[in-house]
Amino acid sequence: MGKINLAAPGAVTIRPLTVADRDACVVVENACFANPDHRATPEKFSYRLTACPELCLGVFVHTADSEALIGTPSLPSPSSGVLVGHIVATRCTSDVLTDASMGVPKDWRVAAMDPAAASSVPASLLGHQAGGGTVAVHSLGIVPSVQGRGLGTRLMTAYLESMAALSSSYGGQHKIDRVALICQDYLVDYYKKLGFVNNGPSEAQFGGGGWFDMYYKI
C-alpha cells in the first residue's frame, strides 16, 4: 500500500452506493470483521441497498492492484475504483439501534420487484422505517490494508454532511434527527472525536451483544 498515495488528487472517491455494489460490500464486510457474527449478511446488503440506497456511502481507491487492497482481484473493476470502506444504513423510529432495526422483512423482495404488489405486503416492524427520524448505521468499516490512513474519518465526515443535507431536503415529518450506531468499547472514544455521544451500553444483542449506543445529532 505504500505505492498508493491516498492524498493524491483523484486517488480516492466517496460516492453513494447502489445495489450493484452489493458484492463489493460483502468483500469489505468480510475483510473488516474477523468475527462472522459481527458481519452483515449478503441478504441484508441486498435489502438495505435496495430499500434505502440514499443512506449508503462508499469510499473507493483507484488502483490497478485491487488484490493488494482487499485480497481478491478486480472487484469491482479498477476503472471504477476498488471499494475499501462503506457505511450502510436504514432509518428507524427509535433513538438508538435495536435488533428489530437490524432485521430484514420477510417479503421485502415482493414489494421491491413488483410495486403493484407492495400494498399487499404487510407492514413490518423489521428493517427500514421510511418515516423514522434516526439513521441507523448497521455496517461501517474500512478494510485493514488502508486502516490508519484517515479514510474512516473522511468517510464518516462526508456521511454526516450528506445526512444533514438529506434532512434539509426532506424537512417536515421526513426530517432526519440523528445518526446512530453501535460499537465495541474500544471504539467509543474514536466516535466521540467525530462528534458522537456515548449513550451507554446497548440493549441490542446482535452478534452476542456487548455494544455501546452512540448517536450524532443532525
CA distances from 203 to 39, 71, 80, 199, 200 (A): 18, 35, 39, 11, 10
Domain boundary assignment for the chain: 12-174
Provide the pLDDT confidence category of residue 63 given band limits of 50, 70 and 90. confident
Q: Number of C-alpha atoms within 13 angstroms, CB side, residue 150? A: 5
Decide: pTM greater than 0.95. Answer: no
> pLDDT of 68-103, one tens digit each?
676 665 455 445 789 999 999 999 999 999 999 999
What pLDDT was estimated at residue 1?
Answer: 44
What's 101's DSSP letter? T
Question: Which positions ≥6 away from 108 have C-beta within 8 Å?
Answer: 47, 50, 51, 121, 124, 127
% of the chain at pLDDT higher than 90: 72
What pLDDT was estimated at residue 18?
Answer: 96
Q: How far is CA 70 from the centre of its chain?
A: 18
Provide the pLDDT confidence category of residue 62 given band limits of 50, 70 and 90. confident
What pLDDT was estimated at residue 67?
Answer: 61
Residue 196 reports pLDDT greater than 90 = yes
φ/ψ of 50, rounded to 5, equals -90, -45
User: Which CATH number, 3.40.50.450, 3.40.630.30, 3.40.309.10, 1.10.3720.10, labels domain 12-174?
Assistant: 3.40.630.30
Residue 60 reports pLDDT greater than 70 = yes
Q: Chain-wide mean pLDDT for the chain? A: 89
Q: Which residues of 115-126 are buried (b: 16+ CB within 10 A; e: fewer)?
A: eeeeeebeebeb
132 three-state secondary structure: coil
What pLDDT was estimated at residue 41?
Answer: 96
> pLDDT of 136-171, one tens digit each?
999 999 999 999 999 999 999 999 999 999 999 876
71 three-state secondary structure: coil
Rounded CA gap, 84 and 202, in Å? 28
Dihedral angle sign, alpha carbons of residues 138, 50, 52, 61:
positive
Residue 211 reports pLDDT greater than 80 = yes
> pLDDT of 169-184, one tens digit each?
876 668 999 999 999 9
Q: What is the mean pLDDT of residues 53-59?
A: 97
